[in-house]
Amino acid sequence: MKEEFKVISKFIEEKSRVLDVGCGDGILMEYLLKNKVVDVRGLEISKEKVKKCLSKGLAVIEGDAENDLKQFPDLSFDYVILSQTLQAFMSPENVIENLLRVGKKVIVTIPNFGHWKVRLDLLLKGEMPVTKNLPYQWYNTPNLHMCTIQDFYNFCNNKRVNIYKSISLNGEKISNITTSNLKYKNLISELGIFLLEK
């Protein structure tokens, strides 16, 4: 997901402090370190992945966002990133609240469950959708709370969270999401990238 990283990287100003929540193998962290002057930290739940990150000298701590975000003081990061993980939490609502507490700005990317292929799968096959961005079967998916770009928009509105910027990713195509093209973008985007602020 090079494009996703490019978009995220563009959102981030030089010399800022960044926390990557659910940083995985640290690929995004490395990307940011290479392309920006940033101070970047990571939080990751998988021991294996944490070990990989630490082996690369990255400042990553083993922990889970639902419990371990608590330890970070208010507004202690300029940006907090949550890349394609929101759907896997028990309580995405609490996580978003905590992200907005810890970060001055929050970048959230979500795999879009509103994409036409997803809709078509369910409509025509009558089966839970399996796509490139959502490669799991219903019985082994870690995704507990799937949502669409529209859902996320509504969520932010209800919670009075400012959406600063929103970007649609469809393959390699990057475009802006606006209130006027939201319905359409919700149909064609594989990924939604949001820059939020409280």
Partner 1 sequence: MSNLNKMKNIIIEKTLKLDCGKEISNFPLAYETYGNLNEKKDNAILIFHALTGDQYASGINPVTKKEGWWNYAVGPGKSFDTDKFFVICANVIGGCMGSYGPATIDPLTNKPIGINFPVITINDMVNAQYNLLDYLKIEKLFAVAGGSMGGMQVLQFVSNFPNKAKVALPIACTASHSAQNIAFNELGRQAIMSDSNWNEGLYDEKSTNPDKGLAVARMAAHITYLSKQGLQEKFGRNLQERSDLKFGFDADFQIESYLRYQGSVFVDRFDANSYLYITRAMDYFDLTKQYGGNLSKAFKDTKTKFFIISFTSDWLYPTSENKDIVIALNAIGADVGFVEIKTDKGHDSFLLDVPDFLSTIKNYLNTTYSNINERRI
Residues 6+ apart with CB under 8 A from 69: 21, 43, 95, 98, 99, 101, 102
Q: Which of 14, 73, 139, 158 binds partner 1 (CB under 8 A)?
A: 73
Going by the DSSP 8-state scheme, the letter that residue 75 receives in this structure is T
Check binding of 16 to partner 1 (CB under 8 A): no
Tell me the C-alpha distance between 146 and 43, whole Å: 22
**DSSP bridge partners of 110:** 192
Helices (H), 81-172: 92-102, 116-120, 149-158
For the CB of residue 54, give the shortest distance to partner 1 in the complex, in Å: 5
Q: Which of 35, 71, 154, 162 binds partner 1 (CB under 8 A)?
A: 71
Q: Which of 61, 128, 130, 163 binds partner 1 (CB under 8 A)?
A: 61
Check binding of 60 to partner 1 (CB under 8 A): yes
Check binding of 32 to partner 1 (CB under 8 A): no
Closest to 16 in 3D by CA, of 58, 66, 75, 68: 75
Stretch of 6-14, 57-65, 92-100, 185-193 lying at the interface with partner 1 (CB under 8 A): 57-65
Which residues of the chain form contacts with partner 1 (CB under 8 A)?
Answer: 17, 33, 39, 41, 47, 50-51, 53-63, 71-73, 76
